[in-house]
Structure 1
Amino acid sequence: MSTAAPHTPPTATAAGGATVEFRGLRRAFGATTALDGLDLDVRPGELLALLGPSGCGKTTALRILAGFETHDAGEVLVDGKPVTGIPAHRRDAGMVFQSYSLFPHLTALDNVAFGMRMRGTGKAERRARAQELLELVGLPQHAARYPHQLSGGQQQRIALARALALTPRVLLLDEPLSALDAKVRLTLREEIRRLQRELGITTLFVTHDQEEALSMADRVAVLRAGRLEQCAAPAELYARPATAFVAEFVGTMSRIPCERAVAGVALLGRTYPVDGTLPADGPLEVLVRPENVVLRPDTDGAAQVTGASFLGAVTRLTARLADGTEVKADLATEAAAALPPGSRADITLPDRPVLVDRRR
């Protein structure tokens, strides 16, 4: 597994955030193993995204940290202290759910103030704090509205304000944007990141959306079958995936058959060094991202262009090799115009180490 890249806390206020540690965390539901020895550290004041397919254990880890779920083995520590046995309302964590979970009979202001009310905060103080938080999330004029009078994005802002009301040292976000449309999702993504940086709260953000994770997080932890595959800064995760699973889950990858060679692997008429460890046996494939595939018009080329998808400044071409392998290539749209479907092309990769996996 990969070690994380050096990280600078997002703001000077991040020191107020807590450290979070998962140590050998295990949880099973009957015959289904949700967490299988999860080891992960979250640094003070950072936003760490838990990314992975459905069933990988990311939400289970979040709920165990929040105190809503128990674990079978292992340990969860906040600021170096175990939290097992501490009830959820005493864990100094705020949680925002996918479904908003607002009280329909309370106004926006009263929803935000609810936690403070349960803690016995005086009416004047909690209402002043709730109004302050509504201003923080950009909804001061909606204080008297009920949830059914708010849009989905506005409800999620209220839910975020409620989670912040008790000044938690850890903020937990469980796919809070998945129920929203694309434009609102983008706006709230930026808003959550701004608030997190401003407040310096250690934040765990669960998502299955790779774009969301890469655009928001200081680091991204990719989970698979209850285990950590890699935890790294977004740029490192994308450019240097530690495993084939990470490579294919984060971004688009093509697989090209290759052969073992003295100095690496041979494909497309050239030999390339290997990034990482070469599988000990079996047939092999190289994993390559579309932007790293070079196509040039060539009537005798080894690839035939079979499709093109216009993406603005870039066009994604699909090229088929003689053995039927299909390879994606991102070219500047102007250059792609010289390679219409049906044309032949020379295909090469950059002269640098390649990621190799067993052939499927």
Structure 2
Amino acid sequence: MKTVTAQQTKTGASVEFRGLRREFGEVRALDGLDLTIAPGELVALLGPSGCGKTTALRVLAGLEAVDAGEVLVDGTDVVGVPANKRDMGMVFQAYSLFPNLTVRDNVAFGLRLRGVAPAARQKRAQELLELVGLSAQEKRYPHQLSGGQQQRVALARALAIEPRVLLLDEPLSALDALVRTQLRDEIRRLQLRVGITTLFVTHDQEEALSIADRVGVMRSGRLEQCDSPAELYARPATAFVAEFVGTMNRLPGTVAVGSASVDVVGERLVLAEPGKHTDGDSVTVLVRPEAVTLAAASDGRAVVTDHSFRGAVTRVTALLSDGTAVLADLPSVAAADLVPGTGVDVGFGTQPVLLAS
């Protein structure tokens, strides 16, 4: 596959959802969804099953109607415009390749429907196959390719028509872990190279955080937060986002100091959202494993029960005296001596913490 140059030209269309509502009987799949995607940006929608992420993508594609709201592409509302007139490229979880067509003819299929001359469409297909690293397979049929290769053909076919927007509906979920990681990186390189606006729907948080410029976390048809992966992880706007993205410890605590702090296992931590509870309230505090520190102490407040080596990081589980399990992600060198049965003191860093909703 060709390498990506340092400078990329953002040539894609802008996309904006305004107050989208979509109901299926008593189920509200989209509940006033607002989202703006800049030209050339890759936004991933992430959330649990039924949160509305796929419905939002299908609305943009023209495959799903809306009950209210606007879908703007380069400032023009496309609600009511047929799917085949929206100039969108789409890649599904199922590859949907034509088994009776060669790889090259699969890629050129959309161009043929648009009446592009044979020579021009064959040239374009060859360019796209080179881009996805499948030039040598152009005369093969889909059944002669691996799953990852088939998905690259589907991606090349979507890009061949030079769409204004690329839509990816969980395109990697049917692949094994290693191929999924490799193809995920290839999709990102291609997206940057072409400069196309992309909406990527996935249920895999690692996938979303690694591939997107911004990640939107959805819940019950609404957008809880849409931010860069680093911002989303480090500063979640809500407890739902905090628990859905990454791993969280849920620890018992007591609100203190005018509801601005919380006492957790003998430590006082600052609340990220003070004033929502009164002093003395029992709450559940959310702390990421990498914020937890463990220090060996024979009279410590916890005992190590599990020690899971993960390369540079080791996840250590310690059990508090009340039976609460605490996960700590520590440098493997520092965690080497914290074997099961070791008494430890537990610390939680200085970052403000959220409370479970």
Normalising by structure 1, we get a TM-score of 0.94
- 2:186 partner SS: helix
Alignment equivalent of 2:268, drawn from 268, 271, 275: 271
Contact 2:12 2:165 in 1 (8 A): yes
Q: CA deviation at 1:277?
A: 4.2
Q: What's the CA shift string for 1:295-331, capped at 9, x where partnerless?
A: 0001111111111111112111111112211110011
1:251-270 correspondence runs (5 A): 251-262=246-257, 263-270=260-267
Separation (CA, whole Å) in 2 of partners of 1:278 and 1:192: 44
**CA pair 176-278 structure 1, distance change in 2 beyond 3 A:** farther
Flag structure 1 segments of 5+ consecutive residues without an equivalent.
1-9
Q: In structure 2, give the amino acid aligned to 1:273.
A: V
Q: Deviations over 1:189-234 (max 9, x none)?
A: 1111111001110001111111111111110000111110110000
Distance 1:182 1:278, change over 3 A: farther
SS of equivalent to 1:71: coil
Q: Does 1:83 align with 2:78?
A: yes
> Cα distance, 1:29 vs. partner?
1.5
Letter in 2 for 1:298: A
**Alpha-carbon distance in structure 1 between the residues aligned to 2:235 and 2:7:** 26
Counterpart-to-counterpart distance in 2, 1:297 and 1:277 = 33
Name the SS of the counterpart of 1:13 in structure 2. Answer: coil
Distance 1:120 1:191 in 2: 30
Matching residue of 2:196: 201
Query: Separation in 2 of the partners of 1:352 and 1:220?
Result: 22
Partner of 1:180: 175
Contact kept? 1:278, 1:356, Cα under 8 Å? no
Distance in 1 of aligned mates of 2:333 and 2:150: 44
Q: Distance in 2 between matches of 1:318 and 1:90?
A: 55
Aligned length: 348
- CA deviations on 1:86-116 (whole Å, 9 max, x unpaired) are 1111112100000011111111111111111
* 122, 132, 138: which one aligns with 2:133: 138
The question of 1:327 aligning with 2:322 is answered no
Rounded Cα–Cα distance in structure 2 between residues aligned with 1:128 and 1:19: 29
SS at match of 1:193: helix
Task: Please provide the CA RMSD for this pair.
Answer: 1.3
Mapped pair 1:289 → 2:288: yes
In 2, distance between residues paired with 1:27 and 1:252? 31
Greater mean deviation of Cα atoms: 349-358 or 141-150: 349-358
Residue identity opposite 1:279 in structure 2: K
Q: Deviations over 1:248-307 (max 9, x none)?
A: 111110011111111411122222211134533653121011110000001111111111
Alignment of 1:163-242 (within 5 A): 163-242=158-237
d(CA) in 1 for partners of 2:288, 2:342 = 22
Distance (Å, rounded) in 2 between the aligned partners of 1:181 and 1:254: 29
Corresponding residue number in structure 1 for 2:3: none
Q: Distance in 2 between matches of 1:276 and 1:43?
A: 30
Which one-letter code corresponds to 2:178 in the other structure? K
> In structure 1, which of residues 19, 23, 26 is the aligned counterpart of residue 18 of structure 2?
23
Aligned partner of 2:147 in structure 1 is 152
Separation in structure 1 between the aligned mates of residue 266 and residue 319 of structure 2, nearest angstrom: 16
| Match of residue 4 from structure 1 | none
Mapped to 2, the partners of 1:79 and 1:323 lie a distance apart of: 57
Q: Secondary structure at the match of 1:86?
A: coil
1:348-359 mapped onto 2 (5 Å cutoff): 348-358=347-357
- 2:255 touches 2:277 (CA, 8 Å); kept in 1? no
Give 1:290-329 correspondences, 5 Å limit: 290-329=289-328
Aligned letter for 2:56?
A
Opposite residue 78 of structure 1, the aligned amino acid is V
Deviations 1:119-156, CA, capped at 9 Å, x for gaps? 11111111111111111111011111111111111110
How high is the sequence identity, in percent, across the aligned residues? 67
Q: Is the 8 A contact 2:8 2:192 kept in 1?
A: no
Matched, 1:36 2:34: no
Q: Which amino acid aligns with 1:325?
A: T
Amino acid in the other structure paired with 1:122: A
